[in-house]
A and B are shown apart, each in its own frame.
Chain A
Amino acid sequence: MIALLDNLNYAVAMILFCIGFYTVIMRSNLIKKIVGLTIMQVAVFFFLVSIGYLADGEAPTVIPGAPPPPMVNPLPQAMILTAIVISVSTTALFLSLALKFYEHHGTVDMDKAKEDKR
């Protein structure tokens, strides 16, 4: 437990992941599920970039003329930038499918659509 105080960023990232996960599995509304999915994705991005942090490091941009200070790890930042783009794409596709579901069933709620089908 004491070791968690150094890694508070990691702990909050995992708590956010579990909050998003609970929303995805327990709420039957499709739009709420997509909100939970977005929170899960942001939690994973937060965790991955926190791993690359260097204490008293600077942003990875070289200012010409001055000697470069110690900088944080640029590799997770580049990968998470790609991942943010992919998150937008999958959210767009998921929302269009939810809209089609609404047109077909009259509701966005999965439990209500299952009841009305009988």
Chain B
Amino acid sequence: MLQSLNIVLLILLVVTALTACLHRNLLVAVIMLSAFSLIMGAMWVMLRAPDLALAEVVAIGVITTTFFIASIFRTQRREE
């Protein structure tokens, strides 16, 4: 059961990372980065690292995402 949960999380990781890197709308990319950090937080719990789960979700999922949103607010929204 845990092995299949591991595989599902890994597939979700790759899917969110691909969407974050290939989408042209920068806001979508940044929100996908936040989802990526949340899935990675679940992965850290699977690897028995609760400190890292807390640190990852709050550092990359909240703080880096909010920095990105502030930067997109001041520059441009789309990639071209």
Contact = CB atoms under 8 A, between A and B. Distances in A.
A and B touch in the complex (CB under 8 A): yes
B21 interface: yes
Contact of B33 (A16, A38, A71, A109): A38
B6 A8 contact: yes
Interface of B is mostly: helix
Contacts, number: 119
Interface residues of B, number: 39
Interface of A is mostly: helix
A36 B75 contact: no
Contact of B63 (A8, A27, A53, A88): A88
Nearest to A77: B49
B26 A32 contact: yes
A80 B52 contact: yes
User: Which of A35, A42, A50, A102 gathers most chain B CB within 10 Å?
Assistant: A35
Interface in B6-48: 6-7, 10, 13-14, 17-18, 20-21, 26, 29-30, 33, 36-37, 40, 43-44, 47-48
Contacts of A35: 20-21, 29-30, 33, 68
User: Which of A29, A60, A87 gathers most chain B CB within 10 Å?
Assistant: A29
Given A12-B13, A15-B14, A72-B47, 7 more contacts: A29-B79, A46-B40, A53-B47, A53-B48, A59-B49, A61-B50, A77-B51
